[in-house]
Structure 1
């Protein structure tokens, strides 16, 4: 017997006791039938997973974003984009509660029929496999001055990173991070100097086993560890504020033996509240995409204990709130350390002025491990999207699950090892897809599905999301194109 989404929701509500928090139930449907949830993930583990989906290597570029916009300007923009990210999650959860649909792809199908479902699935695959330009690093052996994302141009952090970009970072920087703990005479042609070999080892031994889990809740253990590493990063940035004098030394010897000349005067030690320049346009997309986690929200929601919209909204509020706090603290103290001379990748500055500092070396390794532990979490929605698009996702199959996992990781590994220049394509397409997933799709889907009048509060908010998302997408494309023109 065919029953539409609302009838399923009513039937499920009649059979489900109301949750004590807010009295809500959330019937979840999948492909036209009531779907049993993989429940069991605690509230705390869901927070860690969502935070891990939010935070990535982009945190390293936020101090530069503050230098480009000013402390007050940065604060206003960060509040704005975090609020919009929370609001778009609110709209997605509201649609789930209304329709009983449990996936981003099926919401696209509900709103725009099959083309919408395919579009969302492709967007998730592009965004999660590799959506940002990879760092242009030189893989010099034993060069400790190359940090986690060394050699970045200002625009590199303007779009978030997918799995291929993260693995490229690991391939480029893990050998240098290991060598930083060794004495110069110990460095040579050791096996750990080969970034490709290290990348294959960590992918097979760490990423693959974690990615095989059919439940995203299982990844909360590694997500909590990644959060601790990011917390350690923020603590080190705060502590090292008092280790580097202002004005900065004029002649600095880096670990590679070169000299960095800094024309730093006392007047430049005053923080700026507002900055409006061409660099501000480079910084805004970095902040706009700093809270992109929407591909992981609904999978986490599906496994949440006593799942209701109210509980999942609290998970989102806490996750984005804690991420906001870490973002702001690390950006503020990073900026107050280097002021206008802050590097587009924060750790580069510490390498120059605090060579072989144990805290800087350990925090570099900690950020790399956090990036590594983020890959399985990004992989989960990508695999889910691929299975939905290719096989319909009607019932779980270990064979399909294993084949999909191996195929996606193999593609990502090949891209990271052999085709780093493909990041140019991902940069253009990924910046558009990221903007759509974060702002445009939630707004359009709400306007199409909710049935609310255009003058209602949420409908007006959805329209504003779409407009803001289009602006961010165009701005990101312009940043990338201008950089290509300059580099050529």
Structure 2
């Protein structure tokens, strides 16, 4: 039976390198999701209001679930094993460079946010230990010393030594949630929660809601880790992928709802909800201090998880920028591998889907089975409704290996200097930012919204656009195409409006001399 062999897995579907289980993959993605940004969710609920905040949480969860599937589907169709290679095949070299820039933002700005959180978590404890008040210079010196301590780990070539960090992150955040729940219950039982202090709708109107949206988006940012996790998952069938994504998004949504509710309850009970909910708790609270130290250790050890991929991306981007194509145009898949050809741009004749005019046709009608229902067991439809096989192209497997080798050959001196520049610059930024939600707001309204929603959906639409007309009816439910289009539109609109709102809030706070 003939079948289309243009769907690629790297490593191949039955590779022995695929040892990952669904449970382990869920734990890995949960470790990616459950970080320091969780502490700002009660603040997001305060700004968006209880009703609108719950709606935003559910909508963001649904959109994340959908875009993770579309991203994996696009990866299988493009042969790209990384986010940037998917963008490269779908839209060309400029999109690849844009994607690299977004990776830099998504890995660099959290360093700034984590530094601010470390300062907020440990400076009050240092004041108690020293029995004196620390000014801004002393607080900045404290967090600088911590960053210096973690510097050697940030120059590591690989992250093998920190592979169990995801479980540490989940444990630390889970314990903090339990502690917050205990204190929220005690406060509600002794003092009570005044109904007048609970805002059902956005605080400060639409400005409050727009400030909350990027925080929710940052909380669900896991897309750059999805493809590596998919590459390690044993037998990555659609059913197993569905279980992985649905369980991950379902669990993290329930967890976020719990943290938001408990933190918001305690904040309302004590008179206000801070941008970092731990700032609402007294430094004399031993239980919460244990939670502070545990989370601080987790955040500090998370620095290498951000700097190592950041350095790799910077080096790849530099090499990509100086690469010269002898044919006078940039290749769509610049992995220096013969046999990997371009699927786009569309044919010059303008007849979308005509396989005779493509170097490597997306769908070749001559390879399609006459009856899809009688296709071979090795042949299946992916989430984009595209027919493919469980085989991996050898050229793409070799390309993935070359890209990994390229990252590993970065000299230690180069990594050391880049790490020094990265950590020094992020410290300077953190010294001049007081609220961590400013970081999450800017990150969520720019890089994260594009990474999570705009690019995956745009690539999905590009693939469906170039399907032959006779295959469109077999390309999966039409509603997926409409959902992808709506998400592209809304994500671009949210990026523009939320970014403008962030600048408005910064200006208003500067004039008022306080937080909104």
Asked whether 1:362 is paired with 2:305, we answer no
Partner of 1:378: 306
Cα-to-partner distance string for 1:357-403 (whole Å, 9 max, x where unaligned): 11111112222223223333334543443354344553515332756
Do 1:70 and 1:274's aligned partners in 2 also have CA atoms closer than 8 Å? yes
Summarize the Cα distance change of 1:401–1:48 in structure 2 as closer, same or farther, 3 Å threshold.
farther
Partner of 2:175: 232
Asked whether 1:346 is paired with 2:248, we answer no
Do 1:37 and 1:303's aligned partners in 2 also have CA atoms closer than 8 Å? no
Summarize the Cα distance change of 1:422–1:97 in structure 2 as closer, same or farther, 3 Å threshold.
farther
Q: Distance in 2 between matches of 1:439 and 1:223?
A: 24
Partner of 2:85: 106
Do 1:126 and 1:426's aligned partners in 2 also have CA atoms closer than 8 Å? no
Structure 1 unmatched runs, 5+: 1-5, 10-25, 131-161, 249-263
Q: Distance in 2 between matches of 1:342 and 1:370?
A: 23
Partner of 2:131: 184
Q: Distance in 2 between matches of 1:401 and 1:308?
A: 39
Question: Of residues 27, 41, 49 in structure 2, which corresponds to 1:48?
Answer: 27
Do 2:78 and 2:90's aligned partners in 1 also have CA atoms closer than 8 Å? no
Partner of 2:349: none
Partner of 1:444: 458
Q: Distance in 2 between matches of 1:81 and 1:122?
A: 23
Do 1:48 and 1:220's aligned partners in 2 also have CA atoms closer than 8 Å? no
Deviation (angstroms), 1:266: 4.6
Cα-to-partner distance string for 1:291-313 (whole Å, 9 max, x where unaligned): 01111211222233344454344
Partner of 2:420: 410
Partner of 1:89: 68
Deviation (angstroms), 1:443: 1.0
Larger radius of gyration: 2
Partner of 2:231: 302
Q: 1:426-465 residue pairs with structure 2 within 5 A?
A: 431-450=445-464, 451=466, 453=472, 456-465=478-487
Partner of 1:28: 10
Partner of 2:348: none
Deviation (angstroms), 1:457: 2.2
Do 1:43 and 1:315's aligned partners in 2 also have CA atoms closer than 8 Å? yes
Cα-to-partner distance string for 1:417-445 (whole Å, 9 max, x where unaligned): 33447878997577312111011101111
Do 2:457 and 2:487's aligned partners in 1 also have CA atoms closer than 8 Å? yes
Do 1:443 and 1:466's aligned partners in 2 also have CA atoms closer than 8 Å? yes
Cα-to-partner distance string for 1:164-183 (whole Å, 9 max, x where unaligned): 33234335643444554x37
Q: Distance in 1 between matches of 2:133 and 2:439?
A: 39
Deviation (angstroms), 1:46: 2.6
Deviation (angstroms), 1:223: 0.7
Question: Of residues 205, 210, 214 in structure 2, which corresponds to 1:281?
Answer: 210
Cα-to-partner distance string for 1:189-239 (whole Å, 9 max, x where unaligned): 9999733222201332xx437x53266xx6441110110001011111111
Cα-to-partner distance string for 1:262-290 (whole Å, 9 max, x where unaligned): xx995536x45444624222222211331
Question: Of residues 164, 169, 183 in structure 1, which corresponds to 2:112?
Answer: 164
Question: Of residues 292, 316, 329 in structure 1, which corresponds to 2:258?
Answer: 329
Do 1:171 and 1:198's aligned partners in 2 also have CA atoms closer than 8 Å? no
Partner of 2:100: 121
Question: Of residues 115, 122, 143 in structure 2, which corresponds to 1:174?
Answer: 122
Q: Distance in 2 between matches of 1:102 and 1:325?
A: 30
Do 1:58 and 1:290's aligned partners in 2 also have CA atoms closer than 8 Å? yes
Do 1:46 and 1:304's aligned partners in 2 also have CA atoms closer than 8 Å? yes
Q: Distance in 1 between matches of 2:64 and 2:239?
A: 16
Do 1:296 and 1:381's aligned partners in 2 also have CA atoms closer than 8 Å? no
Q: Distance in 2 between matches of 1:413 and 1:484?
A: 24
Partner of 1:257: none
Q: 2:302 aligns to what SS in structure 1?
A: helix
Q: Distance in 2 between matches of 1:172 and 1:242?
A: 24
